[in-house]
Structures are given as structure tokens and as C-alpha cells.
Amino acid sequence: MKKQTKGKLCTAPNIGSPDDFYESLLAIHEGLGMDESDALNARLILILANHIGDGEVLQEALEAARA
Amino acid sequence: MQKIFETPLYPYKRSEDQDAAKPVRHPVVVIGAGPIGLGAAIDLAQQGVPVVVLDDNDKVSFGSRAICFAKRPLEILDRLGCGDPMVDKGVTWNTGKVFFGERQVYAFNLQAEPEHKRPAFINLQQYYFEQFMVERVRAIQEEGAPVDLRGNNKVTGIKTCDDHVVLDIETPEGTYQIEADWVVACDGAGSPVRSLMGLDFIGRVFEDNFLIADVVMDADFPTERWFWFDPPFNRGQSALLHKQPDGVWRIDLQLGWNIDKEEEKKPENVIPRLTAMLGQDAKFELEWVSIYTFQCRRMEKFRHGRVLFAGDAAHQVSPFGARGANSGLQDTDNLCWKLRLVMDGLAPDTLLDTYDAERVHGADENIMNSSRSTDFITPKSDMSRIFRNATLDLSEKFDFARPLVNSGRLSVPCTYDGSVLNGHDVATMPERTRPGSPAVDANTSEGWLMDRLGGRFQLLAIGTDVPEMLEFDGITVKRVALCDGDCRSPVIANRYLGKETTAVYLLRPDQHVAARWVKFDRDAVEQALKTATANG
Ligand SMILES: Cc1cc2nc3c(=O)[nH]c(=O)nc-3n(C[C@H](O)[C@H](O)[C@H](O)COP(=O)(O)OP(=O)(O)OC[C@H]3O[C@@H](n4cnc5c(N)ncnc54)[C@H](O)[C@@H]3O)c2cc1C
């Protein structure tokens, strides 16, 4: 198993009301075709990435998503 | 009236070498009188090195080529004595607009940083650029500088020996040979010298064609750079509009890969595209129309014994960000002082290996930046296109997305981080002037700082004593002292002092920082000078 290094990315639960967020995430895609949803997701990633800003956190997040 | 690009500027003239009994030996031969070869010739001649320049042509650059020249090359041209005519003739612009589909998504204004003699860049046709350089060659010749510019002298063969190089040259009056201690090959992207020596040229060809049109237009389009992603007049592709002097506009239309180049170039196909772009009322005439395929590649090594490659012969980039001629001038800026020290026996031959190391680093930086721009402009996958479009969509509403939009990153000077020539650093001083970086301009009581630097090793003294002149093993180091008022200027503090109140900078002849200290120490300077000249 890969050794868990202590990174800067928060991987502990951090969203206040997980069910509410999840519902909103699905709701925002409602009625959209796949292309529109892909575009929305891309915009969302860019908006969130900018909010995070920190290059190390972003890099860890990219790797976590790909793993 | 004959246009400048139709005028022979250095017509063929028989040289004594052609009648010599055996090949005449020259210290340096530069092959190619493009912007880079001319830059090398002026630089060497200004240092008193006799130089022969061979070109297979006798005119300036033909067709649509470079238009955008950045600040660092302008500073180099100032050192070569031909910055003023370029900047006087060139167009300076600050505003750019980005369009996506039918709409303008944003405009930007490049706020210039204060206290720089030269603007971030100018637009100028390459033929003017070369003309001003040839005029500079003529001017220094008048002053007695040893430059011999030979038009219609085509290099057709090269033989490299341990201590010299032999060149076969073809002229309208037959062939002859000369020998050279050193050869600087600036013979362009197709470099015959590179092929004759059987050397590689590796990299990535972008599967894309661009229609480049220069049009003469009577229009009150503002002096701005307009870039379109996916415009209605060129669906799925990009377009660029940029102003040059004399009412000439550069238009780049991306065409994609599977096209019929000859068809696309025909005026009956070009004109409707341009009308759709410029509007029905625009009155324009075509000056040039060409189709280019761009590549990003470089030679594995720029030095091959006594042959040194520079400019497009050594590396090529796609044009986004204007890095071709701009980086080529940084090549010869880096090379010429090293070559002179080696020729004068003041530095070992290995100093020339650092030309290779430093400029390969520069070329890689340029290739990386150009490749990134190309990947943004021409997405290579569905997901890449989705992110590209998302970035553009967001840029309309949100400032944060604008730095992600990449329609070409303008050439910025290269810092030789990690170079073996770099010496002592002071961590509390500004990062932008760390060893390896070019000096940064500032207004001083005795004129622009950049005008006071270059051409020799120098010690820049800020608020502390330094001897006026030092000599170490035949190399002199001259002091450039800032007056008390300048030492207190916030710009000097910001660019040179950082957290310190005094500073001593050792500068190379190419205006790059070799080492820096808080106070002067003779032994430390001697060591840094040895390091900077590969003398150990
Ligand atoms: C459409 C376009 C736009 C560009 N825009 C920009 C820009 O905005 N900014 C920028 O910095 N760069 C730009 N470039 C790149 C720029 O034009 C080149 O990087 C630059 O011309 C390189 O100069 P050079 O002296 O290395 O080579 P060249 O200009 O190609 O000169 C080579 C010279 O060698 C001579 N020669 C060739 N073979 C021989 C031989 N066998 N014997 C003797 N002489 C020979 C040729 O006649 C020529 O004079 C652009 C290029 C293109 C095509």
C-alpha cells in the first residue's frame, strides 16, 4: 500500500451538510444535455480551483482524483 | 517606388579572397544575414573582432515574418546601437481584446511598469528590422569596424577540423573557399549548415496551417491586438489582428490541417474571409499572403566544436508569443562575449559549452510556452476543448479566468537559473535580479541604467564603495556607481536592494547578473569573475 503522506489537501469530511450539497450539485445539472453538463463541470472546477489557489493543494487534488 | 524588400542592400562584390592562392583564414565567419546573423556580426565587430558575414541573398527578409519585438531584444539592440530607429518606427500598443464566438469576452490593458526605457514590445515589420541592422553595420564600418558583409555568397560545403573550419562558397562568379577559426551558423530554420553536418533537429510539428496575410488598410481600427477564438468568419479556428507601421495590418487565420494550401492562398478565397472579418466597408489591399505550418523543435546541442548554431537554425517555435527572433537575439547576446574571451585566450574553450547550456535552457522555456499556447488555441482532445471553452466563458464575467486564457504569452527574458557561471547570491535581495537574470532597467541621474551597462564586465555599486577599475588576469571590471539620490529611489530598492541598504552586483557583458553581495570584497569578486568566465 502507498504510504500516506501528510499533504495539504483536506480529505477529512469538511462539507457542513453533505446531503444538501449533493442535492444541489445534481439539481444544477437538471435539464442539461451531456455537453452542457460537461461544460458546467469544467466551469465549476475552474471556479473552485481559483478559490483554492494554493498550487500544492491543487496538485494533490488532481492526483487524488486520478488515483 | 522600389520597396525595401526589393532593394539589394548588400549586393555581390568580388572579394580578394576569391583571388587568393589558398583559402584565406578568418577569425569568425557568420553564415546568414538574417536578424540573428546581423546581430552577431555587429556584436563581434563592436568588440573589435573581425567578422565575415556570408548570405546567399542580398536583400532583407521577404514576405510576412516577425512583427512583434519584446523589451529584452530591444535592450540588446540598444547595446548594438540600433534600438532607436526600431522603436521610433515601430508601433507600441497596450490594449488587447479577446473574442469568443460572436462576442467580446474581455479587454485588457497592459499597464507598463514605470522606469523602463523600452516598452514591453513594439510591432515592426521584419524587413525594417533587418534594414536598420544593415544600416548599423554600415555605420560601424564607417567608423572602421571590421565587418565584411558578402551578399550572394552561398555556403555549399563545410568541413570541420580540430583547429578550424573550411567553407565552400558559391557566388555569381563561381566558387571559392575560406577558412574560419570559428563559425556562427545563423542560416535559418532550414539551416543548410545543419544538414551539411548531418545534425538532428528534433521536436514536434503542430498539425496546423495558418494563413498569414499582411493587408494595407485605410481604417480607423484602434491600435490594439484582437484575438478571436472560434469566430463566425473562421468557425472552429482562431484569428488574430495586429497593427504594424505604415497602415499595414497582420492577420493570422488558423486553417486546420487538411486543407489545400494553393487553393486557400488564392485572392478569391482570401478576400471573402478578410471581408467577413474586417467588415463589408473595410477597404484593404493584400501586401502578402502565405501559409505556414509551425513547429516547435531544437537541435540537441547548439555547439558542435567550432561551429555554433544560433537563431532559427538552432531552434524553432510556433509564433504565439513572438519568440523566434526575440530568442535568437538572446542567443548571440549570450555567445559573442564568450567567443571573444576564448579567442583572446582569456577564458578556456569550455566557456562556449555554457553557451549551449544557457541557450538550450532558453530554447526549452520558449518551446514550453509556445506549446502551451498552441494547446490552448488548438485543443487536442474533447476535454481540452471543454476546459478551453469553459475558461473563455468564465473570462467574460470573472477576472480570475483571464490569466488562464492563453492566446500567446509574450516573450520575457530568460533567467539562467542553475548555470555554472552563476556566483554568490544574497537571499534577501530581489528575486528578479538573482544571478542568471538580466539586469532590470531604472531611471538614474546619469541616464537609463541599461544604457550604462553591458559590453564588458562591470560592478554595479549601490550605496557602497567599489574601486573604479579592477583587473584580474587580463579581464577588466569597471564600476558603475549610482549616486546617493538614486540609491534611495524606491525603484532601485525594489529591483536591486530588497531588504538590504547596499549592494554590489557583478554584471556580465550581456547585462546578466553573475553574482551579488551586500558589500564589496575583492577576493569574492575575483572568484565570481573566474566562475563567470569558466576559469575555475
Ligand atoms: C509568420 C511569422 C511570424 C513571426 N512572428 C515573429 C514575431 O512576431 N516575433 C519574433 O521574434 N519572431 C517571429 N517570427 C520568427 C522570425 O521570423 C525568425 O525567428 C527570425 O527570422 C530568425 O532569424 P534568423 O536570422 O535566425 O533566420 P532567418 O531570418 O531565416 O535568416 C537566415 C539567413 O540565412 C541565409 N542563408 C540560408 N542559407 C544560406 C547559405 N547556404 N549560405 C548563406 N546564407 C544562407 C538566408 O538568406 C537568410 O538571410 C515569425 C516568423 C513567421 C514565419
Give the pLDDT score at A6: 65
| Residue B353 sits in the same domain as residue B484 | no
pLDDT of B264 above 70? yes
Can you tell me which atom of ligand 1 is nearest the CA of B68? 8
pLDDT 10s digits, A40-61: 999 999 999 999 999 999 999 9
Q: B464 near B504, Cβ under 8 Å?
A: yes
Pick the residue from chain B with its C-alpha nearest to A52.
Answer: B400
Which of B337, B365, B393 delimits the end of a domain?
Answer: B365
Nearest to B400 among A38, A42, A50 (CB): A50
| Residue B140 sits in the same domain as residue B46 | yes
Instruction: Confirm or reject contact between A39 and chain B (CB < 8 A).
Output: yes
**Nine-digit cell string for B338:** 564568450
| Residue B192 sits in the same domain as residue B332 | yes
Length of chain A: 67
Residue B270, domain member (yes or no): no
Band of pLDDT at residue A2, cut at 50, 70 and 90: very low
Q: How far apart are CA B420 and CA B357, in angstroms?
A: 9
Which range is least confidently modeled, A6-10, B308-312, B379-383? A6-10
Residue B161 pairs with which residues in a beta bridge? none
SS3 B79: helix
In the reported structure, the alpha carbon of residue B127 is separated from the centroid of ligand 1 by a whole-number distance in angstroms of: 11
| Residue B24 sits in the same domain as residue B135 | yes
* CATH code of B347's domain: 3.50.50.60
| Residue B49 sits in the same domain as residue B167 | yes
CB contact under 8 A, A46 and B389: no
Q: Which DSSP category does B19 fall into?
A: G
Band of pLDDT at residue B57, cut at 50, 70 and 90: very high
Which ipTM value was assigned to this complex?
Answer: 0.93
CB contact under 8 A, B386 and A43: no
Give the pLDDT score at B223: 84
Q: What sign does the CA torsion over B81, B83, B88, B89 have? A: positive
Of residues B374 and B499, the one with the higher pLDDT is B499
Q: What is the mean pLDDT of residues B392-410?
A: 94
Give the pLDDT score at B409: 86
Q: Residues B447-454: contacts with CB within 8 Å, 24+ apart?
A: B448/B117, B450/B75, B450/B78, B450/B117, B450/B118, B450/B511, B451/B78, B451/B117, B452/B480, B453/B480, B453/B507, B453/B511, B454/B79, B454/B507, B454/B509, B454/B510, B454/B511
| Residue B30 sits in the same domain as residue B158 | yes
| Residue B348 sits in the same domain as residue B437 | no
Residue B406, domain member (yes or no): no
Which range is least confidently modeled, A36-40, B99-103, B288-292? B288-292
Give the pLDDT score at B323: 85
In the reported structure, the alpha carbon of residue B359 is separated from the centroid of ligand 1 by a whole-number distance in angstroms of: 18
Give the pLDDT score at A65: 97
| Residue B177 sits in the same domain as residue B321 | yes
Q: pLDDT > 90: what percent of chain A?
A: 88
Angle of helix B382-397 relative to helix A34-52, nearest 10 degrees, comes to: 60
| Residue B40 sits in the same domain as residue B144 | yes
| Residue B347 sits in the same domain as residue B463 | no
Residue B417, domain member (yes or no): no
Angle of helix B351-377 relative to helix B324-343, nearest 10 degrees, comes to: 180
B38 lines ligand 1 (CB under 6 A): no
Which of B365, B386, B415 delimits the end of a domain?
Answer: B365
SS3 B479: strand
Which range is least confidently modeled, A23-32, B2-11, B241-250? B2-11
**Alpha carbon B172 to its chain's center:** 32
Give the pLDDT score at B44: 98
Give the pLDDT score at B218: 78
Average predicted confidence (pLDDT) for chain B = 94
Helical residues (DSSP H) of B479-521, grouped into ranges:
484-487, 490-492
In the reported structure, the alpha carbon of residue B67 is separated from the centroid of ligand 1 by a whole-number distance in angstroms of: 12
Listed by number, the residues of chain B in 348-377 with a beta carbon closer than 8 Å to a beta carbon of chain A are none
Residue B210, domain member (yes or no): no
B34 lines ligand 1 (CB under 6 A): yes
**Alpha carbon B338 to its chain's center:** 18
Which of B365, B381, B409 delimits the end of a domain?
Answer: B365
Nearest CA distance, B396 vs chain A (angstrom): 12
pLDDT 10s digits, B135-182: 999 999 999 999 999 999 999 999 999 999 999 999 999 999 999 999
Band of pLDDT at residue B2, cut at 50, 70 and 90: low
pLDDT of B37 above 80? yes
Q: B73 near B326, Cβ under 8 Å?
A: yes
| Interstrand relation of B174-185 and B24-31 (parallel, antiparallel or unpaired) | parallel
DSSP secondary structure of B124-189:
--HHHHHHHHHHHHHHHHHTT--EEEETT-EEEEEEE-SS-EEEEEEETTEEEEEEEEEEEE---T
Q: What is the mean pLDDT of residues B300-327?
A: 92
Q: B165 near B306, Cβ under 8 Å?
A: yes
Give me the amino acid identity at B425.
Answer: D
Instruction: Confirm or reject contact between B327 and chain A (CB < 8 A).
Output: no
pLDDT of B489 above 90? yes
CB contact under 8 A, B394 and A38: no
Residue B523, domain member (yes or no): yes
Residue B338, domain member (yes or no): yes
Band of pLDDT at residue B94, cut at 50, 70 and 90: confident
Give the pLDDT score at B224: 87
HSE at residue B71, side-chain half, CA atoms within 13 A, is 18
Chain B residues touching A38 at Cβ < 8 A: 386
HSE at residue B346, side-chain half, CA atoms within 13 A, is 17
Helix, strand, coil % (nearest 5) of chain A? Answer: 65, 0, 35
| Residue B67 sits in the same domain as residue B146 | yes
Q: How far apart are CA B378 and CA B205, in angstroms?
A: 13
* Class of residue B424 by CB neighbours under 10 A (exposed 0-12, middle 13-18, buried 19+): middle
| Residue B186 sits in the same domain as residue B43 | yes
Q: Which domain holds residue B475?
A: 431-532
Q: How far apart are CA B331 and CA B30, in angstroms?
A: 14
The number of domains in chain B is 2
Q: How far apart are CA B408 and CA B92, in angstroms?
A: 17
Q: B206 near B295, Cβ under 8 Å?
A: yes
Evaluate if pTM is beyond 0.90: yes
Q: Which DSSP category does B21 fall into?
A: S
Residue B208, domain member (yes or no): no
Q: B426 near B500, Cβ under 8 Å?
A: yes
Nearest to B387 among A42, A47, A50 (CB): A42
Chain B residues touching A50 at Cβ < 8 A: 398, 400-401
pLDDT 10s digits, B434-477: 999 999 999 999 999 999 999 999 999 999 999 999 999 999 99
SS3 B348: coil
Closest protein CA for atom 19 of ligand 1: B324
Instruction: Confirm or reject contact between A38 and chain B (CB < 8 A).
Output: yes
Residue B141, domain member (yes or no): yes
Instruction: Confirm or reject contact between A26 and chain B (CB < 8 A).
Output: no
Q: How far apart are CA B522 and CA B369, in angstroms?
A: 40
Q: How far apart are CA B530 and CA B364, in angstroms?
A: 27
Q: How far apart are CA B413 and CA B240, in angstroms?
A: 24
In SS3 terms, B252-295 reads as EEEEECCCCHHHHHCHHHHHHHHHHHHCCCCCEEEEEEEEEEEE
**Nine-digit cell string for B279:** 467588415
Give the count of Cβ contacts less than 8 A between chain A and B.
Answer: 26
Give the pLDDT score at B256: 85
pLDDT of B315 above 70? yes
Give me the amino acid identity at B392.
Answer: L
Can you tell me which atom of ligand 1 is nearest the CA of B54? 43
pLDDT 10s digits, B228-249: 999 999 999 999 999 999 999 9
Q: What is the mean pLDDT of residues B59-73?
A: 89
* CATH code of B520's domain: 3.40.30.120
Closest protein CA for atom 31 of ligand 1: B34
Q: pLDDT > 90: what percent of chain B?
A: 80
Give the pLDDT score at B250: 94
**Nine-digit cell string for B30:** 557568420
Give the pLDDT score at B72: 95
Q: Which residue has the cell 514536434?
A: B204
**Nine-digit cell string for A23:** 442535492
Q: How far apart are CA B468 and CA B142, in angstroms?
A: 32
Phi, psi of B523 (to 5 degrees): -65, -40
Give the pLDDT score at A3: 41
* Interface residue of B399, B400, B406 to substitute, partner A, most A CBs within 10 Å: B400
**Alpha carbon B184 to its chain's center:** 16
Q: How far apart are CA A2 and CA B336, in angstroms?
A: 52
> Any residues with CB less than 8 A from the CB of B392 and at least 6 apart, and which?
B98, B100, B105, B229, B401, B405
Instruction: Confirm or reject contact between A42 and chain B (CB < 8 A).
Output: yes
B319 lines ligand 1 (CB under 6 A): yes
